Structure 1
Amino acid sequence: MGTLLYGTSGTEIAFDDRALAHLQIVITAKLRRREGFIFSWTSAPGAGSGRSAIWLDPSSTLFFRYFGSRPPVINREWIEVLAASSNNPGGLVFTVEPESSTEATPSRS
């Protein structure tokens, strides 16, 4: 289970490593373009359910911490789905990986 640490307080947001790698690609692409946006997700029942959201902009302090040592295979379709949501007025909304994907490429570190 990976963790996105947000802000100087180090607020921890848990995602599995595979999901976190995909989020990192989309989030860093937007921040490189100096775009601010909302990022929201639904918490797992064990974490109290409900929705959470944070504001991200180029001044945000982020740390992506992975549990595993190997980078996951990247699903380009999932990247496209997440990137498309990030360009909507509601911001980036985390969604689970599409099942229909047949195109995946290894991540490059």
Structure 2
Amino acid sequence: MGSLYYGDATEPILIEDRALAHLKVVIATKLRRNESFTLSWKHPDGVLAGRSTIWLHPSIPLRFVFQFADSPDLSRAWIEDLAQSASSSGGITLVEEHLETAED
């Protein structure tokens, strides 16, 4: 399980490594463009039930911490899904991975 530290929060946001790697690409792209947006996710099992949303802004510190040292192979389709949601008025919603098949 990876961790996303945002601002001065001492408790990390827990996100599975593979999902966090994909989010990192989309978030870094948006912040590099000096764009602000929201990020919403459902809480993982074993954590307080529900969902959360944070406001991401280029001036607020952000740190990605991965459980595993090796970077996973990235899915272009999943990055595109996340990027599309990032450009919507609702901001990034951590959607399930679009599994690529031979037909994709």
User: Which of the five TM-score ranges fits, normalised by the shorter chain?
Assistant: over 0.9
Q: Which residue of 2 aligns with 1:48?
A: 48
| Unaligned runs of at least 5 residues, structure 2 | none
| TM-score (structure 1 length as normaliser) | 0.88
Contact 2:14 2:44 in 1 (8 A): no
**If the length of structure 2 is used for normalisation, what is the TM-score?**
0.92
Contact conserved, 2:40 with 2:51, CA < 8 A, in 1? yes
Once the two structures are TM-superposed, the CA of residue 82 in structure 1 deviates from its matched residue by 0.2
Q: CA RMSD in A?
A: 1.3
Q: CA deviation at 1:96?
A: 1.3
Cα drift, residue 10 of structure 1? 3.3
- Structure 1: give runs of 5+ residues left out of the alignment: 104-109
| TM superposition shift of 1:44 | 2.2
Residue equivalent to 1:107: none
- After superposition, residues 1-109 of structure 1 pair within 5 angstroms as 1-99=1-99, 101-102=100-101
What's the CA shift for 1:8?
A: 1.7
Q: CA deviation at 1:36?
A: 0.3
Q: Any idea what SS the aligned residue of 1:45 has?
A: coil
Once residues 61 and 14 of structure 2 are traced to their aligned partners in structure 1, the CA distance between those partners, rounded to angstroms, is 16
Greater fraction of residues in strand: 1
Identity rate, percent:
45
Counting matched residue pairs gives: 102
